Structure 1
Amino acid sequence: MVVPGSSKKEQTLKLIAEKDKIEQKIKEFGAVLEANGNIGMTGSLIDNEGFPRNDIDVYQVRTARNQIICLQNDLKALMKEIEKGIHEVHAEAAAASSSTSGSTKTIGLNSKEPEDELPLVAICKVDLVFEGSPAEDAGICVGDQIIEFGSANSRNFKKNIAIIAEIVKNKVNERIPIKINRKEQIIETTLTPRTWNGRGLLGCHILPI
């Protein structure tokens, strides 16, 4: 039996893998243009007298340019599909976590303990991790529930994802301590926000619980 949410995630990851392949092909054809005097996409193919230039391989350059244009169009269409897929994965994860968010509120309202003495609970759930990303390097997996993300925890998070975004912004190339609940097992690790081949600085998508 295929779980709908899992299937959509897998489809999106396949699209991302295809995107990486297209970007690699564009890079390879770009190298062809560089090898021909770094002519680029707009450099003239004829000399001052109107004849084909003899210092470059005109046929090779034309072929590379045509392939790059086609690949860029394919990439643009693919990026739209990826964006749509990510939104759908997020929507499904949000729907699945709606019931648990209600129970978390009830615990907080019924507790008679001071807020700073309440036990820490998960504040976010990881619903997508990209291959080769800082998140994957840190050992973060889909389904992990984040209890602490740097200074953010259930005592100050208040379901405001902007808090994590601000921490990431101020900790680029610095280790952020993270505490995770993975299948009732508490795991501590560090995540270093950095520029990588994909989008963002973490390479994962998280939703507040």
Structure 2
Amino acid sequence: MATEVINGIEVTDYRHSEDDLLPTSVEELKEYITRLSEKRNVIQTDIDKHSEVLRRENNVGMDGPLIDSEQFPRSDIDVVAVRTARQQVIMLTNDMRNVMGHIEQALFKLHELMPRQENTRNGMREEMRPPTRPPFLQVHGVLPDSPAFISGLRDGDIICQIGSLHKENFSNLGDVADIVKLSVNKAVPVKLVRNGTPKTIALKPRPWQGRGVLGCNVVELNN
């Protein structure tokens, strides 16, 4: 990770080293995921900082023109600051995508490792099957004709697992957002309980006429 100052703006490169290897133990993976989550939060803070520059400069955004009708640089904005902020938002967005990809890989690896706890009894080696995952999320506000509704989610459903995410490796709702963003147009297995009955559905996030890619909300389940 390197930091430099460009046009008076501090810029940090968060790109992940290609030489980084996933940890091989459950505890190390949990620590690794925590570090990545912290890095994700820092990147988001930097994206917000540069986005604020674009809002402050006459709300020019990522696509607003930098020249006036006479083809001169606009006098009502700091063109250099806008160009720098736009470049950084693009770079940081790519960094965010990279970090979220590593988080997803680590979550899947953690999910693979945790069921493989084994025990030796009477000289025989047997696999210890994990108990049913405890619930940790609840579904609210499923909109009609939304991807969530079409996939089979309903208001009040209690989620025990979504993809590789479950209560033991869940830290906050940002983890759910990561899974959803990385699974657009892909089927994600969701284990849930509805009216006391366990079910498994294939949730497929996708763009639709409504907001977001699901059309529902999930909240942390109060124990």
Q: Distance in 2 between matches of 1:62 and 1:34?
A: 13
2:101 to 80, 98, 101: 80
Contact 2:68-2:74 at 8 Å conserved across structures:
yes
- Tell me what 2:52 maps to: 31
- Tell me what 2:68 maps to: 47
* Structure 1 residues not aligned, in runs of 5+: 103-121, 134-148, 166-193, 196-200, 205-209
Higher percent of residues as strand:
2
Q: CA RMSD in A?
A: 3.5
- Structure with greater contact order relative to length (CA < 8 Å, sep ≥ 6): 1
- Tell me what 1:9 maps to: 30
1:124 to 104, 125, 133: 133
Q: Distance in 2 between matches of 1:150 and 1:128?
A: 23
Contact 2:26-2:110 at 8 Å conserved across structures:
yes
Contact 1:93-1:127 at 8 Å conserved across structures:
no
Percent identity for Structure 1 against Structure 2: 28
Q: Distance in 2 between matches of 1:130 and 1:202?
A: 13
Higher percent of residues as helix:
1
Moved over 6 A (4+): none
* Structure 2 residues not aligned, in runs of 5+: 1-22, 119-125, 135-166, 175-192, 204-215
Contact 2:115-2:129 at 8 Å conserved across structures:
no
2:128 to 91, 94, 100: 100
- After superposition, where does 1:1-209 map in structure 2 within 5 Å? 4-96=25-117, 99-101=127-129, 123-124=132-133, 126-131=167-172, 151-152=195-196, 156-157=197-198, 160=199, 162=201, 201-202=218-219
Kindly tell me the number of residue pairs found equivalent between the two proteins.
133
Q: Secondary structure at the match of 1:129?
A: coil
AA matched with 1:123: T
Task: Tell me how far 1:101 sits from its aligned partner.
Answer: 2.6
Contact 2:66-2:73 at 8 Å conserved across structures:
yes
Task: Tell me how far 1:12 sits from its aligned partner.
Answer: 1.2
Deviations 1:143-181 (A, max 9, x none): xxxxxx7854xxx54xx555xx9xxxxxxxxxxxxxxxx
Q: With the length of structure 1 as denominator, give the TM-score of the two structures.
A: 0.53
Deviations 1:4-52 (A, max 9, x none): 1110111012111111111111111111101111111111111111111
Contact 2:47-2:92 at 8 Å conserved across structures:
yes
Change (3 A) 1:8 1:40: same
Deviations 1:111-133 (A, max 9, x none): xxxxxxxxxxx532532121577
Task: Tell me how far 1:57 sits from its aligned partner.
Answer: 1.0
Q: Distance in 2 between matches of 1:96 and 1:43?
A: 55
Larger radius of gyration: 1
Change (3 A) 1:124 1:132: closer
Task: Tell me how far 1:89 sits from its aligned partner.
Answer: 0.6
